[in-house]
Amino acid sequence: MTSIDHANLARLDLNLLVAFDALLTERSVTRAAARIGLGQSAMSHNLARLRTLFGDELLTRGADGMRPTPRALALADPVRVTLSQIQAAVLQREAFDPSTTDRVFKIGLADSIEVAVIPGLVARLRQVAPGVGLRLRSINRISILEELDAGTLDLGIGVFNQGQIHHKRRPLYTDSFICLFNPTQLNVSPPISLEDYLRVPHVL
């Protein structure tokens, strides 16, 4: 097991890491302060302390907001993972019981997969979690990640090639495509190859 350097670690204020994470998320001192319930100046003081602590500017002012330095970007994921682990360990809540909860889950759906997923989900909820409510919203892939971070969505369903380390992903189902075509018009016979498919005009 890794030993803890208590003497040095004691000098580190955990709240500073929370402030750092908020600053990296919001890229704005004012919004980061609001995010964790502080005033702008308090967050500015926190940023100053973080700069002293890490010996780096961390965020510099730019035309498009506060720009993170390479050092800040390198620290972002480790800090967030650490905070997530602390949250899981310290703020562990009571075990979730779907049969008794009356929580309303906010779900963002990318693409047109509502028809494929929701009927089965609703049927399943009726059986195991009759008190659960769903608030469904169609949303694009990039917005889903932003809204998950902001807490305006609990869950995103779609095809995601990107995401941060703290975004948990689970395969929901596998899908395939069916190709409809007129063999006489296109002068191809089934089964068609990928080359055939790409050669002719098509709609996906």
- From the centroid of its chain, how far is CA 111? 17
Residues 6+ apart with CB under 8 A from 20: 50, 58, 72, 75, 79
Nearest to 51 by CA among 66, 30, 31: 66
- Footprint (CB under 7 A) of DNA, residues 36-65: 38-42, 44-49, 59, 61-63, 65
Beta carbon nearer to DNA, 38 or 109: 38
- Is 15 a residue that touches DNA (CB under 7 A)? yes
The count of residues interacting with DNA (CB under 7 A) is: 23
Choose one: 30-38, 100-108, 158-166, 175-183; the region binding DNA (CB under 7 A). 30-38
Choose one: 24-32, 122-130, 153-161, 187-195; the region binding DNA (CB under 7 A). 24-32
**Nearest distance from residue 44's CB to DNA, in Å?**
4
- Is 30 a residue that touches DNA (CB under 7 A)? yes
**Nearest distance from residue 64's CB to DNA, in Å?**
8
Hey, which residues does 109 pair with through a beta bridge?
Answer: 138, 157
DSSP 49-96: HHHHHHTS--EEEETTEEEEPHHHHHHHHHHHHHHHHHHHHHS--PPP
**For residues 195 and 112, what is the distance between their CA atoms, to the nearest angstrom?**
27
**Nearest distance from residue 29's CB to DNA, in Å?**
4
- Is 66 a residue that touches DNA (CB under 7 A)? yes
- Is 29 a residue that touches DNA (CB under 7 A)? yes
Mapped onto helix, strand or coil, the DSSP state of residue 106 is strand
Beta carbon nearer to DNA, 72 or 139: 72
- Is 99 a residue that touches DNA (CB under 7 A)? no
**For residues 43 and 30, what is the distance between their CA atoms, to the nearest angstrom?**
8
Token code pair at residue 23: 């600053």
Could you check whether the bond before residue 191 is cis, i.e. omega within 30 degrees of 0? yes
**Nearest distance from residue 8's CB to DNA, in Å?**
15
Beta carbon nearer to DNA, 65 or 78: 65
Beta carbon nearer to DNA, 17 or 66: 66
Which residue ranges make up the site for DNA (CB under 7 A)? Answer: 13, 15, 28-31, 38-42, 44-49, 59, 61-63, 65-66
